[in-house]
Amino acid sequence: MAGVSNGFVYHTKYDRYTAISNRALQNTGDNLLALVRSISNAEEMYDTEAYSEGHSVFFDFLGLFFIYYYESTGVALNMSFSLGGILVVCVSLWRMSRVSCERVSTLACEFGIFLLLAVLGFLLAFGFPLLMSVFYDAGNRTMTYFSNSWLLIGIFICPSLIGLVLPSTLYLTLRTQEKICHAYRLQIAQHAHCVILSVICIILTAASFRSAYLCMISLFFYFGSQVINLLSTLHDRGYFWALIVGGCQIIPFLYFAYLFHALLIIIIPMTSRNGMSINPDLLVSLLCALGTVFAMGFLAQLVNIFRRPKCSIGFLSLIMFIFCMVTVSDVGFPYRPKTNVMRLHFLEVHRWFYEYDGSLSLEDSGYYFDLQDRRLESPLRDSMELTGLTRLDQDVCKTKMKCGMPCFNHRWCATVEDARWLPRIEPVQLPGLPALELLNKTVLTNGFEVRYEFRLQGPPRMSLFVGPLAGVKMLNWSFLKGMLDNPAIYKPPYHVFIAFGIDHSPVNFFFQLEKENGNFEEPVFELGVSAHYMDDSHKRDDVTKAFLGSLPEFAHPMEWPTSYERYIF
């Protein structure tokens, strides 16, 4: 169970209990207590096979109550309302033919045109926001909504609405149809949207996606509105049918607005710690487009009831333009001090590279930046001196384990080639150094395997980087054997993260390697040892303090001194 409100402070110094409301904490405790009691007293726990019903579909409505049912029930509901939606469309077209005395083929042809237009509208509803996210990324303007989420209305939601209604609106206004009245044509446009949702729901259900219930909710309420219109004859009385459709869409609109707003509350703070390789605007724009299509899919078409629907599209375009102008101002700058900070992860690193004969080939110091969001270091350059800050040398990354950097965890190591390095002249002053001791080196009886035994003493957070050289294979070690048994997933160089609490006793470990030529009087493997002094009680040196003082207010540093020693055995 996790609190999602105000995720901007998550894992920062501003993250504290007061950031979560007492009501949320109480509700979490109540839910947890009820869950533990239910599980401990559940008969299903004693015979899981007898009570096994497969997966479930579950969701809450506006935080008021909870709905759940078995997946088999969900399949029945999805298929029923998908086919039911297609059925009421067919009945509606037949009814139009009877009332207007037009041939069914004429109405079917018109429906086919609107179906193609609806498909195009779907594509544009997703395409326009995604295109906006690409443009913003190209202009280095990603995450403009980070501090002001209301900007999403203009830059992603309005383009999605425009794309959704543009094809049908242009068709209805530019191509008049004398045989079929405008009210019927507008209903046909809604029917086309219904059929597309029905097809999507059937496909998702057949593929066992339980999230198909989203389509089912839309279809359920549209199906109900069509049944009411057909039974009450409002279907054939001008635009009165629109009152029923609009009224029946209030509940799904509220639900989808609530659902996607909650998703955005979760996702937007995560864009500041999602890494630099992926454009977060693509995900946010996709969520906005999905929310728009589900919440406004049937309602948006009602704009064509008005005499000049193109003016509505022009109004949406004007709103989009105004919002775009706002985003390029200071309002669109993502970060704010204390509330919406830029997470700045970096290490003050002192490195030593020892060769096979024990000689020291390199000793240097610098700041190793694991940048957390798409804007990289560009927000910092306007307010501080970063001369010398470069992306890690890709040639060095090909020859040194993990680019020769003490990446902190698996996420840091996955993006190490995109990291930044800022060298400094003054050596980083470390609170201490780990002690690595080679206890024993034993060549095994077959002559092609060797076993190295080590002892390591250091701070509570350390890492080992192990890289077998050419012709050498790691056969066994003290750590998770599953990593060696899955070479397709875990490839050398290996990263082993060591963490402990109050037990400061030395860590003993071994490596057992196989070498093709059996010559163990030459280099066999590289071993990197990094020690992370994360505790705030460890003092930073004066140069580091000055560097921290030069950071802008909106940048929140998460940093610590780190040592890195590379050995060849």
d(CA 343, CA 476): 39
518-535 pLDDT, tens digit per residue, is: 888 899 999 999 999 998
292-340 pLDDT, tens digit per residue, is: 999 998 888 888 888 888 888 889 999 999 999 999 888 989 999 988 9
pLDDT band at 51 (very low <50, low <70, confident <90, very high): low
- The mean predicted confidence, pLDDT, of the chain is 89
For the chain, what percent of residues have pLDDT higher than 90? Answer: 52
d(CA 437, CA 454): 6
Closest by CA to 57, choosing from 281, 216, 279, 173, is 216
Least confident of 18-22, 175-179, 348-352, 371-375: 175-179
d(CA 519, CA 448): 8
Q: State residue 376's pLDDT score.
A: 86
376-411 pLDDT, tens digit per residue, is: 888 898 888 888 888 888 788 888 899 999 999 888
Q: In whole angstroms, how far apart are CA 183 and each of 119, 121, 297, 545? A: 21, 20, 18, 71
Q: What three-state secondary structure class fits 354?
A: strand
119-170 pLDDT, tens digit per residue, is: 999 999 999 999 999 999 988 889 999 999 999 999 999 999 999 999 988 8
182-241 pLDDT, tens digit per residue, is: 888 888 889 999 999 999 999 999 998 998 999 999 999 999 999 998 888 888 788 888
427-472 pLDDT, tens digit per residue, is: 999 999 999 999 999 998 888 999 999 999 999 999 999 999 999 9
Q: Has residue 256 got a pLDDT over 70?
A: yes
d(CA 550, CA 346): 14
Residues contacting 330, CB < 8 A, separation 6+: none
Helices (H), 233-338: 241-248, 250-270, 280-296, 309-327
For the chain, what percent of residues have pLDDT higher than 70? Answer: 98
Q: State residue 96's pLDDT score.
A: 82
Question: Whole-model pTM?
Answer: 0.84
pLDDT band at 415 (very low <50, low <70, confident <90, very high): confident
Which tokens go with 407?
A: 């990446």
pLDDT band at 93 (very low <50, low <70, confident <90, very high): confident
φ, ψ for residue 425, nearest 5 deg: -75, -45
Q: State residue 463's pLDDT score.
A: 94
Which tokens go with 246?
A: 């609009």
pLDDT band at 178 (very low <50, low <70, confident <90, very high): low
φ, ψ for residue 239, nearest 5 deg: -105, 15
d(CA 418, CA 373): 12
What does the pLDDT average to over 35-50? 81
**Residue 552 CB-half CA count within 13 A:** 19
Q: Has residue 3 got a pLDDT over 80?
A: no
Task: Kindly list the domain boundaries of the chain, sorted by start residue.
Answer: 7-52, 61-332, 342-569
pLDDT band at 52 (very low <50, low <70, confident <90, very high): low
pLDDT band at 177 (very low <50, low <70, confident <90, very high): low
Q: Has residue 284 got a pLDDT over 90?
A: yes
d(CA 201, CA 319): 33
Which tokens go with 553?
A: 């207010």
